Chains A and B, each alone.
Chain A
Amino acid sequence: MRFLFKTDYAQDIRLAKHGGHVFWYSALLLLLFVAPWLFAEYWLAQLTLVLIYSVAGLGLMLLAGFTGLFSMGHAAFLGVGAYTHAVMTNAGIPFPIAIVCAAGLAAAVGLVVGLPALRVKGIYLGIATLSFGFIVEEVLARWESVTGGNAGIHIAKPNLFGWVLESGTEFYFLCLVITVTATLGILNLLRAPTGRAFVAIRDSEISAQSMGIHLAYYKTLSFAISAALAGVAGALYAHNLQFISPDQFNILQSIDLLLMIVIGGVGSVHGAFLGAIFLIAMPQVIAQVKDFLPATVGQAPGLQGLVYGLVLITFVLFEPMGLYGRWLKIRTYLQMFPFYRKGMFKRQKSFQKSDRLK
């Protein structure tokens, strides 16, 4: 077991808490940097997709996991980012400028959606964002002069001031750099006063307000940052598929994003990554297992939805902290080896915290 002796206040907010963190995260980063030479092209493409979804997941995690505002229309921000980026790239604007604009426009849209969030909360916010998601999808489908309508649009290869990224490897590195930057940004945000304010709002709006946190400002800020990250992810997503159409940004995509952070573990940055890995790996696993099942089960088209639903139900019922929570438990078990007690991670039931007037 590791004991940390804190001798300095700055130790509390250090990104790497101890040598183990430094070692393992460096190893992970090293592995990701040499991945193109280790894995086949197909697996590298999957890894790229994991990175892209991680960026979107980080955004939603900041909003849902750290600020406690649930967005059921997050695919709309993904769509706004993707289309902005696609239109600008096709107009010959270099990648860095286009992606900043995509993030900016998505953030602006996020601000607009964030405003009703000040008045409504809980399930009403979910329905407001859901409605907004439908409206954006419809706009993308109908605004044919810009978006190409339901036929979709193709997008040119990313162009960094004349250096065109042709191969999958180059695009992988682009995604890796953006993901690492986004992750460090989020981690830094969370240890700064802004991030603390978000967490305070999540835990109790009333106490946060009493502590002098400006709810309106921080909630809209959270929406804007989250939407900006989704916009960046959308831009990368567009490059990855090289073709986008409105039905890629529908309600199912929004639910996939939510499913990702719930299964990864709401309220942890790791959760966004674990969820993304789950979301990308699951169809592969199902495809592998399919052949061993009887044909009536294995070849049925609804299998994937059924498995997703069952996994989601299982996680909500038995592991609400998600994959990251499971890992925490395993780690604690190993660290304390013979002394792990069953009740250490017991959830506390808070019976009927009613919102109703008493």
Chain B
Amino acid sequence: MLFLQLVISGIAQGCIYGLIALGFVLIYKATETVSFAQGELMMLGAFGGLVGMTLLGFPYWLAVVCAIAAMALFGLLLERVVIRPILGQPAFSVVMLTIGIGYVARGAITMLPGIGTDTQALPVPYKDEIWKIGGNEFGVGALVLNVEHMAVIGATAVLCALLYALFRYSKLGVAMQAASQNQLAAYYMGIPVQRLNGLAWGLAAAVSAIAGLLLAPITFVHANMGFIGLKAFPAAVVGGFGSLPGAIVGGLVIGIVESLSGFYLPDGFKDTAAYIVVLVMLMVKPNGLFGEKLRKKV
């Protein structure tokens, strides 16, 4: 029972990693650049939800939709203003650029008077509820499920289904796949590659915002919550950097390993488990679980 409990909380945490990793992978597939600002976008999304719910007094669902839409627009804007001019430069320039964006986002949020330096709880309707399954009539030995965790798992499943449908059935999704496989050929076929790259950033920012809104009830909203994005990198690598399902699977692997090692292994392994897993993965199978084997032609 305890084992199952650990696995479920690991899955919930893994879903968050997976969603952030999904943002990396979307951007990587579209533009072959790596965004280190994904965690900060998540943090901005959570703050967006917080502002909607507390300052503007929106109901829960309206606030969530507004936060996600706002972040999608922000992603589009970010791509247009700072990323597009730099495309074609070495990949490292973009990495430094996104690190800069992360610094600015964190600094700007911290500077907000009143809410920037505090940690707030996001007032969600399902806060602190638990479900109990099984056990005797006194609730001993029952499987205790935290509704916050179940919300994360459920929302991730729905989001994955939506993304799958987008990439499988919609014209837009197919065009995005084409552009990510061969930009030049896609451009010749009349696909507006640049606009699609912008959309990929918007989508990635929206997914990160969802991750932030799901994570917020579990950990609280604060300016440094974006650092969790650094654990989503191992998730993306374990899954294979260019694979969307791989990102979610990688996230789940990291989440479960972290949860189990936190309980069964000595102190300190919980925080480093993700990194140990990724180092092992890079040694054994650098392309990740789902990554395709790449060979560069000269």
Contacts and interface: CB of A to CB of B under 8 A. Distances in A.
The answer to whether A and B belong to the same complex is: yes
Interface of A: 64, 70, 116, 119-120, 122-124, 126-128, 130-132, 134-135, 138, 141-142, 206, 251, 255, 258-259, 262, 266, 296-297, 300-313, 316-317, 320, 347, 349-352, 354-358
B283 A317 contact: no
Contacts of B104: 305-306, 309-310, 313
A312 B274 CA distance: 29
Interface in B241-287: 241, 267-268, 271-272, 274-276, 278-279, 282-283, 286
Contacts of B227: 251
Contacts of A142: 267-268
B88 A350 contact: yes
B108 A306 contact: yes
Given A116-B283, A134-B271, A206-B296, 7 more contacts: A127-B237, A128-B278, A302-B107, A305-B106, A309-B105, A312-B97, A357-B295
Q: How large is the interface on B (under 10, 10 to 19, 20 to 34, 35 or more residues)?
A: 35 or more
Interface of B: 32, 34, 82, 85-89, 91-93, 95-97, 99-111, 113, 116-117, 181-184, 223, 227, 230, 233-234, 237, 241, 267-268, 271-272, 274-276, 278-279, 282-283, 286, 292, 294-298
Given A317-B85, A356-B32, A251 B230 contact: yes
B113 A300 contact: yes
Contacts of B82: 313, 317
Nearest to A117: B282
A354 to B, nearest CB: 6
Nearest to B183: A352
Given A309-B103, A316-B86, A349-B89, A302 B223 contact: yes
Nearest to B105: A309
Contacts of A119: 282-283, 286
A142 B283 CA distance: 25
Determine which residue in B89, B91, B107, B116 has the highest number of CB atoms from chain A within 10 A of its CB, and name it. B107
Q: DSSP majority for the B interface?
A: helix
Contacts of B233: 127, 130
A309 B89 contact: no
B283 A320 contact: no
Determine which residue in A134, A251, A316, A357 has the highest number of CB atoms from chain B within 10 A of its CB, and name it. A316
B20 to A, nearest CB: 14
B100 A128 contact: no
Contacts, number: 159
A137 to B, nearest CB: 9
A352 B107 contact: no
Nearest to A204: B298
B91 A141 contact: no
A356 B182 CA distance: 9
Determine which residue in A120, A308, A356 has the highest number of CB atoms from chain B within 10 A of its CB, and name it. A356
A301 B113 CA distance: 10
B99 A302 contact: no
Given A302-B108, A302-B223, A312-B96, A124 B237 contact: yes
5 A-B pairs with least C-beta separation: A302-B110, A309-B103, A306-B107, A305-B107, A131-B275
A316 B294 contact: no
A128 B88 contact: no
B97 A135 contact: no
Contact of B32 (A134, A307, A355): A355
A297 B111 contact: yes
B103 A306 contact: yes
B89 A122 contact: no
A301 B110 contact: yes
A128 B275 CA distance: 8
